[in-house]
Amino acid sequence: MTTEGRIEWCRALLARLVRFTGRTLRGEWHAIVVEPVRRLIRRGLSGLLLACVAAFGVVFFHDIAQYPLGEVWVTRLGGVRADLPLWLSLLRTPVSLYVPALDLPVWAGITQLFLAFAWAELALGRARTLAISYATTVAGTLTARVMIALGPGWWGFGLPHEYGQVLDTGPSAAVVGLFTYLSVVKRAPVVFTLTGGSMVWESIAVPNLAGREHLIAVGSAIVLGLLHGRRARLQALLRALLSTRDGGPTSIEPTATPAPAEPTATPAPAEPTAAPAPAEPSATPATTPSRAVPAQATADRSKGTAMTSLEC
């Protein structure tokens, strides 16, 4: 290949790369900004209900926790630790989403919280937004309990048992999960890179319990995002599996039932046999002459006997 050919090939490759980047950024801008703004204009401020409630909840619990008695009640209602019973941790998890973390600034996290819940509510709806945020938070909490139960070692997967006493609160896992889920569903590579890359950098720079939970939240959100829109296919697959399991007994039942007995039970062949009704009138005239002939013979015999008696 000559030098001019290489230059043309590089120009063509660069032009394709630029066009691909432009299409990707245009599609991501449309999915992140244009569609949510249109839905917000159509629905009004009611489309930001979850975002407002989440931001207000974090501010409310943060203000209450500034007092000693309020801090006690906030810990009792939303304080989650790995050394607590599992049922108690699951019971406190919904409230722990609104309890700010101890090592993170509140006012800086409220902006991310508001944007995540607002975008998710406008794009997914309230029910799915709550489901994704709660699922990613629970996944991080349960996986952290498993890591602490395993203990140090396990190729860096386990954690020391001292982490079981660390207070595990805050909406950061839900925020990370929502951003990751939306970036997978809406095909937004820039948002996905910023979200996932920041969590990986956080876990490497500060290897703590929160970083591990954020990585688990990212992984669970990726799985949920890949399963998005495949509900009908999964239901059809489950139905097919159940039908194949139940196919053995159902295939035997029709063979066990006497299917050919139905045509024998029907009176189709009996109609031609019972049909000779006109045979009865033909039989009645045949019997009458046979009965009349012996009557005349007996009359002649009686006359003969009477004449013989007179002759005598």
Residues 6+ apart with CB under 8 A from 130: 50
Region of 292 (left: φ > 0; alpha: ψ -120 to 50; beta: rest) is alpha
pLDDT at 310 (0 to 100): 34
At residue 163, what are phi and psi to the nearest 5 degrees?
Answer: -70, -15
Q: How many alpha carbons lie under 13 Å from residue 240 in its C-beta half-sphere?
A: 6
pLDDT at 34 (0 to 100): 86
Task: Say if CB 184 and CB 111 are below 8 A apart.
Answer: no
pLDDT at 253 (0 to 100): 44
pTM over 0.85: no
Q: How many alpha carbons lie under 13 Å from residue 43 in its C-beta half-sphere?
A: 17
* Torsion, Cα of 121, 133, 72, 168 (10° steps): -150
Cβ burial 146-160 (10 Å sphere, 16+ → b, else e): ebbeeeeeeeeebbe
CA separation for the pair 135, 94 (Å, rounded): 11
Topology of domain 43-228 in CATH is Rhomboid-like fold (1.20.1540)
Q: At what angle do helices 209-226 and 172-185 cross, to 10 degrees?
A: 30
**Apex CA 130: angle with CA 127 and CA 131, to 5°?**
85
pLDDT at 178 (0 to 100): 92
Question: For 214-261, what is each residue's pLDDT tens digit?
Answer: 888 898 999 988 887 766 676 677 777 777 766 544 444 444 444 444
User: What letter would DSSP give residue 228?
Assistant: T
Q: What is the DSSP string of 10-26?
A: HHHHHHHHHHHHHHHHH
**Cα-based distances in Å from 221 to 134, 173, 225:** 11, 10, 6
Q: What share of the chain is helix, strand, coil (3-state, %, to 5)?
A: 80, 0, 20
Q: What is the DSSP string of 74-140?
A: HHHHH---TTS-HHHHHHHHHHHTTSPPSSS-HHHHHHHHHHHHHHHHHHH-HHHHHHHHHHHHHHH
Low-confidence stretches of the chain (pLDDT < 50) are 248-312
